Chain A
Amino acid sequence: MRVTLKIWRQAGPSAAGSFSTYSVDDVKDEMSFLEVLDVLNERLTEAGEEPVAFDSDCREGICGTCGLMINGQAHGPQRGTATCQLHMRTFKDGDEITVEPWKVASFPIMRDLIVNRAPLDAIVEAGGFISADTGGAPDANLIPIPKPVADAAMDAAACIGCGACVAACPNGAGQLFTSAKLAHLNLLPQGQAQRWDRTERMVETMELFFGSCTNHGECQEACPKEISIDFIALMNRDYVRSKVKNRKLIGQSFP
């Protein structure tokens, strides 16, 4: 099978970018999309050209490093998979495939298809952790947690931070990522002590970098972990509650 790749090339963060077209022959059905880029890069290197820079790490859909806009969809046309899990059997012989990096103001392009996703780290650094003292490691299942709650927290924790939600959002909003990072702690008993502080800080850090939600639902379609926008609703509710609760806390503390 033979495909034509229309790839965004950009030499550096401040350089002007443009599309270059490459043709790749003998692509096999079972190759992943990243392997096709590997094959292309080998040829480019042999020919003395600059290879296409792209991010990847585990190549089994669990690290969140890879992420490309393929034919106008984040992570390509297949639902619930990252770019590394997208196999060439999804495409037909002779297809022209457009490959772009995430294009969001707060994800500056470093080179070709690589973007800087540091703002996602900023959101997690603002409160996506539990620092309250929890004592020694407790026995398993010592804290009773209803099954649906544990399941929902796990669904949220599946987020790998690839940034596809922000990339797919017509508003460049970071709501799905932030709400997933919030929910996987805020739903569980261990996360309660810092719940309102965490919610306020993470939402406000998100709003420094990203746009706002208009409930299109593109993010949950793009998410390789199929995280639901139900978590965004939870975040919207928790944020306003956090404003009320944190206001009460001010009166209770002695600075």
Chain B
Amino acid sequence: MTATQEAPGLTKNIDVRPINKPKKPLPFPLSLYQTAVGKKWVMALTGIGIMGFVFAHMIGNLKMYLGAEEYNTYAESLRELLHPIMPKHVVLWVMRFGMIGMFAFHIHSAYTLTLMNRRSKPQRYSRQDYVAANYASRTMRVSGILLAAFLLMHLANLTWGKVLTGKGFVEGEVYANVIHSLEQPLVAALYIVGQLALASHLFHGAWSIFQSLGINNPRYNGLRKGFAYGFTALVCGLNLTFPVAVLAGIVKL
């Protein structure tokens, strides 16, 4: 090994050049986001936020089974959250900006950590037999990208009403819009694929949160995976019933 220039804090015995540059520390809370461990905290915390949203979204959509009137009233009420206290739409937009922020941090930290991992592992083995890593954990990036694409499709489809709307999109007619979209088998299939990507992402992510935040106690560690599997089954299982119910004609106009 040729002796390379010394990184700050490394003694002369260390004859391997660091692959990551030492960063000039920013003021305290920001300095955490400069480190990989801190970024994993951000990924975990934003993950919890997004999981909360996904759960509430699923609960809200269950109203579909109560009929058009209940469902439309629920959807409209989201625009008027805390209405008499706050002006209409304000709370909704605060939540939307919160979601956009959480997605931005989640995706940005995943992106930069992936680059760091690629630098550390430029060469694969000619053969590697994984023992613990499962399909979900090894495809987090793939399922993440699929989810981002699904999210954009879902927004363009049922929030903006621009694509794949079927017989037509009418703002406020949420129940009819959902049925017009999902009664097209191809669109229903896209939603099903999106939910499977979500399931795969949650299967590893919802457990991983505990580890990243250091929530670990050998006595309760079994519950961490149990929570992840239960949460995944509950959210994705019930979400999957929506396209199936529309296709099967259980939910109809």
Interface residues, chain A, with chain B CB atoms under 8 Å away: 13, 19, 69, 71-73, 77, 98, 100, 103-108, 110, 116, 118-119, 121-122, 125-126, 169-173, 201, 203-205, 207-218, 220-222, 229-230, 232-240, 243-244, 247
Contacts and interface: CB of A to CB of B under 8 A. Distances in A.
Contacts of A216: 130, 132-133, 137-138
Contacts of A72: 125, 127-129
Interface string B1-30: 100000101110111101110100000100
B125 A208 contact: no
A203 B37 contact: yes
B214 A171 contact: no
Given A210-B120, A222-B131, 14 more contacts: A73-B131, A105-B122, A108-B16, A118-B1, A170-B130, A203-B37, A211-B36, A212-B117, A214-B140, A233-B211, A233-B216, A236-B37, A239-B35, A240-B41
16 contacts: A103-B123, A107-B16, A125-B11, A125-B14, A209-B18, A212-B37, A213-B36, A214-B117, A214-B208, A215-B204, A216-B137, A218-B132, A235-B37, A236-B40, A240-B37, A243-B32
Contact of B7 (A116, A208, A218): A208
Contact of B211 (A126, A203, A209, A236): A236
Interface in B204-253: 204, 207-208, 210-216, 218, 221
A237 B210 CA distance: 10
Given A118-B14, A207-B20, A213 B40 contact: yes
Chain B interface helix/strand/loop/mixed = loop
B172 to A, nearest CB: 43
Interface residues of B, number: 57
A232 B132 CA distance: 16
A153 B136 CA distance: 32
A238 B41 CA distance: 12
Contacts of A221: 131-132
A116 B120 contact: no
A104 to B, nearest CB: 6
A100 B28 contact: no
A212 B36 contact: yes
B133 A208 contact: no
Given A98-B127, A119-B14, A170-B121, A234 B216 contact: yes
A72 B126 CA distance: 8
B213 A236 contact: yes
Interface in B13-64: 13-16, 18-20, 22, 28, 31-32, 35-41
A244 B28 CA distance: 8
B119 A105 contact: yes
